Structure 1
Amino acid sequence: MPAPTTVATTAPADRRTDAPAIEVRGLTFRYPGAAQDSLHDVDLTIEPGDFVAVVGGNGSGKTTLCKAFNGLVPHFWNGDITGRVRVHGRSTARRSVGEIAHDVGYVFQDFGNQLVRPTVRGDVSFGPLNFGHEDWADRTDRALADLGLSDIAETHTWQLSGGQQHLTALAGALALAPSVLVVDEPAAEVDPRRAAVVYDHLTRLNQEQGITVVVIEHHAELIARYARSVVLMSGGRVRWHLPVREALARREDLADAHVPDPPVVALGRALVAEVDRGERPVPITVDECVDLLRSVVRAAPDASAVAEPAPSGAMPRARRRGALVARMVGVEHGYRTVSGDRHTVLQGLDLDLHDGDRVALVGSNGAGKSTLLSVLAGLAVPRAGAVEVDGRDTRSVSAATLADTVCYLMQRPEEMFLQDSVRADVAMHPHGRGLPDADALVERVLDRVDLTRLADRDGRLLSGGQQRRSTLAIGLAMRPRLLLLDEPTSSLDLRSRDDVIGMLEALSDHIRCTVVATHDMHLVAEWASRVVVLDHGQVIADTDPRTLFSSPDVLERARLVSPQVAQVGAALALPELPLTVDELVRQVRTIEELA
């Protein structure tokens, strides 16, 4: 296949060395047709070489603000705008998006739309080639290797998992080595090991090459570990821009914006009075938290003398088996590549799903999670083996008929919007099936996911987090018996993630079994009764969360990372591996009482 045409470009003018990397003054912006400003009178300065995390609840203006850094607002997304934005002292209003791209690299939240070439290698090389870099091939190879993509460099981008597409988009931005790099949700849909690899690479670029890094992030533990400073957005305004440790100490401000304490911060505050009173700095890493808590646990008697502490409600449910809901026997599935080779995704897979199961489906990017859900939903027919849902072979019944029993919410939320408003999309299934309580059901669901005020907006024009909540509303209004969710908490703030869990609990009378494909280990720890681990299309473990996080070999093979609270509990050698902050606190306090 021929290489993309190289477009000659003019090198950017010398940057002002005394100017901020990003300077925003009085920026106000409103999208066409919107009832209120997405940004209002924003002032912000980001100095060269900073590593900034932009945080805030869904719809707070984070993404819109960052799109102003590279000129997408207002050159691509038009609207009512006042104020100014400067990059290295040069106004974005007087430069095209292509010119600004020499200075500002950007990875979108909807990263799939950023892929423009057929293969992974072709996409990563597209920017360096078109900007006329003579070392474009070396840049491409380095970016592929750094993000673990060399083995799939010749793979077509439409054959990739969501996480692999995200890494490809990021590699394309890294290959340009801009002076400012903006990444919207670096950890979204990426397995935990690769999320750490992405952040480690961003840190190297920041520290070794002086690249200013700006990330939009909901994972508080990643913010604590990697960021130097934090910008808090709320209601389209910047509330403050502070060093990371000082920012994480602003507990009430962060809680108001639905940004939780990282588990290590919550543990420090709960167990060390000086931290809670602000007399000692909050711990922001696992190592800092462990060092802080050792003084509390050191006074304890032998851990073996401590009784099992957790009440039954906090423990994973026993592996009881209810009635069979779905069964996969010897399932093989894959696709044929453009070259004619057959790529197998699922290999001889056996899986039973039972009434009452809350299944977390985990594994690395490309392990086969989304394909498994698609086959379960009847959207794909296995090449070998059999799939039964509610006693019916999926080969003998259409996916439309199965929709009364099984609902599959896809990884890309924008693919779920077919009508001109969120309310109409949510109402499609209940109205189409003639449910007598359809209107009341739609309003209950919209209220539950906090979308009533946005119900008349087109779902395709909402923020990423709002789109995710909208697709959940579509699925919940279907009241399926088997609910399949692909990365349902990706791009969601803490309140919205907790709402997801609450909604699933509230609809347990209708939903017999829920399967969630996820990289969110906190969701696994706090919600799942059962964890199915995939690797190269095969089930390598079928267990409970506590056992999984106590199994380093399985975690390593599946590129998983246990939650911070489990890492702290393991380092402190607690009697039982904790899954939540409350569990760890209870165990430590029991130890203190026995000391």
Structure 2
Amino acid sequence: MRPLHTQMARREPQQAAPIIALQDVQFQYPGAEGTALRDIYLTIQPGEFIAVAGTNGSGKSTLCKCLNGLIPNYYVGDLIGSIEVAGLTAADETVSSLSRKVAYVFQDFENQLVRPTVYDEACFAPLNYGFADYKERGLRALSMLGIEQLKEQWIWQLSGGQKHLTALAGALSLDPDIIIVDEPVAQLDPFHARLIYDKLRILNEQYGKTIIVIEHHTEFIADYCHRVVLMDSGTIRWVKPVQEALSAVDELAALHILPPQVTLAVRDSEAEGIHSQTAGHLYPITIDEAADYFSQVIGQSSIIENVPIVSEPIDNNSYPKKSLITFTDVSYAYKTITRDMHPVIRDMSISFYEGDRIALVGNNGAGKSTLLKLISGIRRPSAGRLEVCGHITKQSPPELLSDFVSYIYQNPEEMFIEDSIRKDIEYFLKARNIPDYRSFVDGILERLRLTGLQDRDGRLLSGGQQRRATLAIGLAMRPAVMLLDEPTASLDASSRREMTEMLAQLHQQVKTTVIATHDMQLVAEWANRVIVMHNGRVALDTDQRSLFSHTAILEKAGLLAPQIALLSQHLGFEPPCLSVAEFTARLSRTPLFNHNSHSDKEDNTVGSH
């Protein structure tokens, strides 16, 4: 079998004096029982593109905040050990002095934007440092990222991807040697996620910047990074070249880190005996590598025929269903600073039915979150008629609609108002004077594995725990309709799998579930109906299997199919596969009559997603 060569051709930085060197670093937050970091030894060379991976709570963000002085100057605690950054001893520096060497773009990047326009934001940092050429620095940063055309735009008018690039430009204007980006793709649609990484690659390869990303999505690590730093319980488990790191499938699985789907496809097909093992167990990690690999496998074994798959495409006219939500010529617009009306939802007419598991997808700014807020009554239509569970929303206060609709926010911490999650879950029931609610709440806590956490403040929980708690708050409202905005954003593989399982269980209590998401794997695994939005309109209403055949619409809406669907399309499989298990079965010519029948097997294997 021809050896893999794509990874060998990747640009590797020249060896030089380290730009980052950490020796025996430990850190403990005030009042914490254990250390957040311990026994940290790490060196990074100038010009490297590094990924820091690990589960939620493994210490990734804490490690990176040590590099720009946020720890211990802002986040106080006990820090020991040696930290050298860009020729400076971190212990002798301030956040201000280190920020000229190390730029940091936070996961919640919108909170970094403090000026009204893109140009003002790009100039803000060098102006505050007293640089006489602050205007030129701001313009240069915008030019390096290719967003000069946005300079006069108001920040609040930008899409999510444009805001992320603006935050990056603001940090870049100080001409730092090192750029750290926390979860670059967590809040972005697939198109803008890849755009951000393309810009980081340009900064790395053309401008010599050292790039460090904190990342859960291993497909981006595979495509862009040189090495992987694996964090586990506050320490560095290992540092490896990217292909070796992502080929450690079983080890990553044990730490709830999901390798690229194409890598799992090779591993699982080997396990099924479809072909011989790869030399040295270095698997393909990108779509191109996997396509080349499987093309040889198919050619050697003459596996060219497609196995028919009986799916269940959505057909709203095939049998009578009860409509719970009906949009009739609905539009929504808001007034801009110039008093013009900016349209968000345009002349929408669509119905959602009992039994629908709807994935609402589209690029940033397409109108997904606004659509959810219209259904919940938080926003009211500018025109048209919207009926939800028999109530016209223009004539119904949100308090009334909340008896039928639960809306789970994208940022889970916004759902917590009490000092314990049990009180948060009970809040709606107590406000409605529901009798004997405590046993009901006990059942929800047990069902979502929150009993042991019920007395904890929700704002202090991990990301996955917060998502479970917000789902419990929503379920306690006993809704007919559940709305969730980006329920899997920023979750590691374990927490994401838990969320997918919980979403699958909602049909036992909820009549209709609608999620707005950029997670195309979640769409493939969970939804029975997919609505693609673009520019405030419905561009496509279909089932999850047919979705990925509409390549023109996906491209227009800034969406990318999951890796395994793209790989199967590249190999000529029609329809495309929706999971690694299905792909492996197609290779071995095992008929799959219904993808959903394999969900139990998939949920318990690292190869499922």
Return the TM-score normalized by structure 2.
0.87
Within 1, Cα distance between the matches of 2:376 and 2:290? 43
Q: Structure 1 residues 143-152 or 320-329, which shifts more? A: 143-152
Q: CA RMSD in A?
A: 2.6
Within 1, Cα distance between the matches of 2:145 and 2:135? 16
2:187 is aligned to 189
Q: 1:163 to 1:72 in 2, by over 3 A?
A: same
Tell me the amino acid that sits aligned with residue 194 of structure 1.
H
Q: Structure 1 residues 130-139 or 489-498, which shifts more? A: 130-139
1:534 is aligned to 533
Within 2, Cα distance between the matches of 1:426 and 1:27? 40
Matches within 5 A, 1:573-584: 573-584=572-583
- Runs of 5+ unmatched residues, structure 2: 1-14, 592-609
Tell me the amino acid that sits aligned with residue 47 of structure 1.
Q
Matches within 5 A, 1:248-397: 248-272=246-270, 276=277, 279-299=280-300, 303=304, 306-308=306-308, 310=309, 319=316, 322-397=321-396
Q: In structure 2, the residue corresponding to 1:205 is in which secondary structure?
A: helix
Within 2, Cα distance between the matches of 1:485 and 1:581? 26
Judge conservation of contact 1:449–1:496 (CA < 8 Å) in 2.
no
Q: 1:437 to 1:296 in 2, by over 3 A?
A: farther
User: What's the CA shift for 1:111?
Assistant: 1.9
Tell me the amino acid that sits aligned with residue 359 of structure 1.
I
2:56 is aligned to 58
Q: Structure 1 residues 243-252 or 424-433, which shifts more? A: 424-433
User: What's the CA shift for 1:474?
Assistant: 2.5
Q: 1:209 aligns with which of 197, 207, 215?
A: 207
Within 2, Cα distance between the matches of 1:449 and 1:146? 47
Q: Structure 1 residues 34-43 or 48-57, which shifts more? A: 34-43
Within 1, Cα distance between the matches of 2:526 and 2:225? 28
Tell me the amino acid that sits aligned with residue 42 of structure 2.
L
User: What's the CA shift for 1:220?
Assistant: 1.3
Q: 1:164 to 1:106 in 2, by over 3 A?
A: same
Q: In the alignment, is residue 93 of structure 1 matched against residue 94 of structure 2?
A: no
Tell me the amino acid that sits aligned with residue 406 of structure 2.
C
Q: How many residues align?
A: 572
Tell me the amino acid that sits aligned with residue 259 of structure 1.
I
Within 1, Cα distance between the matches of 2:507 and 2:154? 40
Q: In structure 1, the residue corresponding to 2:384 is in which secondary structure?
A: strand
2:551 is aligned to 552
CA offset digits 1:41-84 (Å, max 9, x no partner): 32222222211111111111111111111111111111233323
Q: Structure 1 residues 269-278 or 190-199, which shifts more? A: 269-278
Within 1, Cα distance between the matches of 2:471 and 2:146? 32
Q: In structure 2, the residue corresponding to 1:176 is in which secondary structure?
A: coil
Within 2, Cα distance between the matches of 1:150 and 1:469? 41
User: What's the CA shift for 1:555?
Assistant: 1.2
Within 2, Cα distance between the matches of 1:451 and 1:60? 21
Judge conservation of contact 1:387–1:394 (CA < 8 Å) in 2.
yes
Tell me the amino acid that sits aligned with residue 104 of structure 1.
V
Within 2, Cα distance between the matches of 1:537 and 1:446? 38
Q: 1:311 to 1:585 in 2, by over 3 A?
A: farther
Q: 1:465 to 1:86 in 2, by over 3 A?
A: farther
Q: In structure 2, the residue corresponding to 1:231 is in which secondary structure?
A: strand
Q: 1:237 to 1:440 in 2, by over 3 A?
A: farther
Q: 1:445 to 1:44 in 2, by over 3 A?
A: farther
Q: In structure 2, the residue corresponding to 1:82 is in which secondary structure?
A: strand
Matches within 5 A, 1:466-481: 466-481=465-480
Within 2, Cα distance between the matches of 1:169 and 1:92? 24
User: What's the CA shift for 1:212?
Assistant: 1.0
Matches within 5 A, 1:407-418: 407-418=406-417
Judge conservation of contact 1:548–1:554 (CA < 8 Å) in 2.
no
User: What's the CA shift for 1:101?
Assistant: 0.2
Within 2, Cα distance between the matches of 1:68 and 1:583? 43
1:10 is aligned to none
2:485 is aligned to 486
- Runs of 5+ unmatched residues, structure 1: 1-16
Q: In structure 2, the residue corresponding to 1:279 is in which secondary structure?
A: helix
Judge conservation of contact 1:120–1:154 (CA < 8 Å) in 2.
yes
Q: 1:484 to 1:470 in 2, by over 3 A?
A: same
Q: In structure 1, the residue corresponding to 2:574 is in which secondary structure?
A: coil
Judge conservation of contact 1:275–1:282 (CA < 8 Å) in 2.
no
Q: 1:468 to 1:131 in 2, by over 3 A?
A: farther
1:242 is aligned to 240
Q: In structure 2, the residue corresponding to 1:334 is in which secondary structure?
A: strand
Judge conservation of contact 1:449–1:499 (CA < 8 Å) in 2.
no
User: What's the CA shift for 1:437?
Assistant: 6.1
Within 2, Cα distance between the matches of 1:173 and 1:166? 11
2:542 is aligned to 543
Within 1, Cα distance between the matches of 2:159 and 2:454? 30
Judge conservation of contact 2:107–2:183 (CA < 8 Å) in 1.
yes
Within 1, Cα distance between the matches of 2:483 and 2:37? 35
Matches within 5 A, 1:416-427: 416-427=415-426
